[in-house]
Amino acid sequence: MTLTTPAPSIAPIAAKIPHSVTHHGITIADDYAWLRDPNYPEVTDPAILAHLEAENAWFKAKMAPRQPLVDCLFAEMRGRMQEADTSVPQKDGDWLYWVEYEAGAEYKKWWRRPVAGGADELLLDEVALAEGQEYFRLGALSVSKDGRLLAYATDDNGSERFTARIKIIATGEMLGDEIPDTLSALVWVAGDKGLVYSLANDNWRTDNARLHWLGRPVGEDVELYHEDDEGFRVSAGLSANEEWLIISSGDHETGEIRLIPAADPLALALLVRARVAGVEYDVDLHGETLFIHTNDDHENFRLATAPLATPGEWTTLIAGSDALYLTGFDLFRDFYVVEGRVRGLDQITLRWYDEPARVQPIVFPEASYDAGLAENPEWATDRLRLSYESMVSPATVYDYHIADARLEVLKVQEVPSGYDPALYTTERLEIAARDGVMVPVSVVMRRDRAVLNNAPAGPLHLYGYGAYGIAIAPGFSTARLSLVDRGFAYAIAHVRGGDDLGRAWYKAGKLAARNNTFTDFVEVAKGLIARGFTEAGRISISGGSAGGELMGAVINSDPELWGAVAAHVPFVDVLNTMLDADLPLTPGEWPEWGNPAEDAAAFALIRSYSPYDQVRGQNYPPLMVTAGLNDPRVTYWEPAKWVARLRELGTGDAELILKTNMGAGHGGKSGRFESLTETAEEFAFILTQLGVERVAG
């Protein structure tokens, strides 16, 4: 006889255990602090695990009636995915490289074949590596310069502590070298005899660059650089010509770089320029000339050059501009490429070393799009691989032929169940924020939306992030169609805190200006209502991580606007996290949020918007929350504590559910179809809350 556990009939109520902290003369009670396991990152406390499992049981019980809709949505989303799919091969030296999904496979296989002809070689089989694992993620992957060896790193629990391994490609034989706890690229140096990487320390911080000599014990690895500032992170890579090892250290607003000959990684490092607070820079080399991308004299960055012999003497090549936000550059043998944005629209321009006046912009076919350089590994090339998409145009791979300025379509994302772009329309709007600043909004919807809804207005989904200077591109999504085809308009609010409109846009949503992010989002929602897109209470919203903080802030400030809310791994216990210097990310986050332990003004500001601290006795909208037990970025207890406090203080009877992935981290489930299941659950929650459960139009 099989015994089944009956579904719970009431939501779990977390115990309240008195706890408080005092800073700047202010004492704050935190009765749910016990949900943080003192042995973290190990979570073994029986009471904590029991509470999380009880929340998961409640989530399962509340979602059970929606399971047919979840299954329907999953089938729709999976039907839009190419089950068997192959990337466009890319030449790198003597080889063509590509990745492939087999039909039904959750994970990829990595392949190559000789350019001169010959059999395909399987580099790495993620399917085999993931077999039997609840979670699997491939991190770094790097082929040695001679093409003989493959270094790769994997994570099997979502903790983002990867184990690096090395194999002989031709035979599949694994070398004895195994490096645990890496969190970095894997960089081949010294004629493929050495590998440079970074270890995650006990606090999950990469404060080092280390050299591993093949065949030697890991205990003999050499630390090439150690960073003493606990807020900085270290990374390493190669210059475009592969002659220099570039070791970078920095936080969210300050950087510093050292150069070491790749052939001699134990040589004395060359410091490009000593760090200056607030100055970021990155570099690459062409011959004896350094190219430097920096914000030292303009917040939108300039491009400068310097002699390798005197790397700190920077001369402007492209001046900083209020109009052009210079986001990066790539060097090639005969030319270089500058990437940027003008009013949020991607720009890609070619320039020549020996012809300074020669400027060749790449022109794309739509008025709003997301475009950028794809993988371009060869130093000498006559074409560029590009990626392109828009809110109505599926992802497209181009080769740009430089000689005749021609875009060649190599691949367009297939939608097997069918997709007709003519059915959809996209708009880029501007809506006034509270201080009069115009906030861009990207919207996509069906042209026949009024017919689908039997009314001019209808439901609307609004997405936002707004942190770390991360722009949210107006790209394509097949999953999104499950809302749009049911009459939703889908909007992205490009709120301050991202760098969608340049560096000033980012600065206007961080530190003391953080509240702009939240009020921008609210005013965008109200502006879309005023323009007839929807009505109050007919808006679903979603965001993850720092975007989950946004969700928490706006349901505190304007709960009546939202009909359903999805907050994924939400950063909601902001004050407590920023007070805790022992947490993995905290010191590096102070430039973004402020240091409330030392700064009374930062303490007061963060407390004023921290979603957990601002939960109050009011009606909250229906809310779905997700977490990852092994998440090192937003620790599991943040959403758990938040949900507990919402249950305690919130009024009304709106649904509140929490799902903690007990074997995953920040990104949720790892397989391509498993992740679709979680999206289907989110959309089913939204659709039922807004009363839109019909079959897609």
Tell me what the pLDDT averaged over the chain comes to.
Answer: 95
What string of DSSP letters covers 83-123? SSEEPPPEEETTEEEEEEEPTT-SS-EEEEEETTS---EEE
Catalytic-labelled residue, pool 142, 159, 249, 545: 545
Closest CA to 326 of 306, 346, 353, 309: 346
Which tokens hold the place of 398? 């181009």
CB atoms within 10 A of CB 140: 18
- The whole-angstrom separation of Cα 243 and Cα 339 is 23
CATH code for 84-325?
2.130.10.120
| Residues of the chain predicted below pLDDT 70 | 1-5, 664-670, 695-697
- Secondary structure (H, E, C), 489-540: EEEEECCECECCCCHHHHHCCCHHHCHHHHHHHHHHHHHHHHCCCCCCCCEE
Catalytic-labelled residue, pool 177, 239, 666, 670: 666
Alpha helices in 558-621 (DSSP H): 574-579, 586-593, 600-609
252 classed as catalytic: no
DSSP β-ladder status, 162-168 and 359-361: unpaired
CB atoms within 10 A of CB 352: 13
Domain residue ranges of the chain, discontinuous segments joined by +: 20-78+418-689, 84-325, 326-413
pTM of the model: 0.93
Instruction: Please tell me the predicted confidence (pLDDT) of residue 695.
Output: 66
User: 104 vs 45, 84, 133, 394, CA distance in Å?
Assistant: 38, 8, 17, 22
Find out whether 508 and 496 touch, Cβ atoms under 8 Å: yes
Instruction: Using alpha carbons only, give the angle 604, 606, 610 rounded to the nearest 5 degrees.
Output: 125
Closest CA to 66 of 684, 673, 532: 684
In the three-class reduction of DSSP (H, G, I as helix; E, B as strand; rest coil), residue 13 is classed as: coil
Instruction: Please tell me the predicted confidence (pLDDT) of residue 306.
Output: 98
| Beta carbons within 8 Å of 616's beta carbon, 6+ residues apart | 556, 649
Instruction: Please tell me the predicted confidence (pLDDT) of residue 693.
Output: 78
Q: What is the DSSP letter of 363?
A: P
User: 625 vs 572, 677, 685, CA distance in Å?
Assistant: 11, 15, 11
Query: Which amino acid would we find at residue 678?
Result: E
85 classed as catalytic: no
631 classed as catalytic: yes
- CA-based R_g, the chain, Å: 26
Q: What is the DSSP letter of 217?
A: -
Across the strands, what pairs with 212? 195
Instruction: Please tell me the predicted confidence (pLDDT) of residue 663.
Output: 76
- The whole-angstrom separation of Cα 668 and Cα 666 is 6
Query: Which amino acid would we find at residue 28?
Result: I
What string of DSSP letters covers 366-399? SSS-EEEE-----SS-SEEEEEEE-SSS--EEEE
Q: What is the DSSP letter of 454?
A: T
Alpha helices in 610-671 (DSSP H): 637-649
Secondary-structure class of domain 20-78+418-689 per CATH: alpha beta
Question: To which residue do tokens 């959750």 refer?
Answer: 106
Helix (H) or strand (E) holding 595: none
Catalytic-labelled residue, pool 485, 499, 520, 631: 631
Instruction: Using alpha carbons only, give the angle 330, 387, 187 rounded to the nearest 5 degrees.
Output: 45
What string of DSSP letters covers 304-351? EEEETTSTT--EEEE---SSEEEEEEEE-SSEEEEEEEETTEEEEEEE
What would the pLDDT profile of 310-353 be if each residue is shown by its tens digit?
999 999 999 999 999 999 999 999 999 999 999 889 999 999 99
Which tokens hold the place of 93? 């030296």
Which tokens hold the place of 654? 């709106």
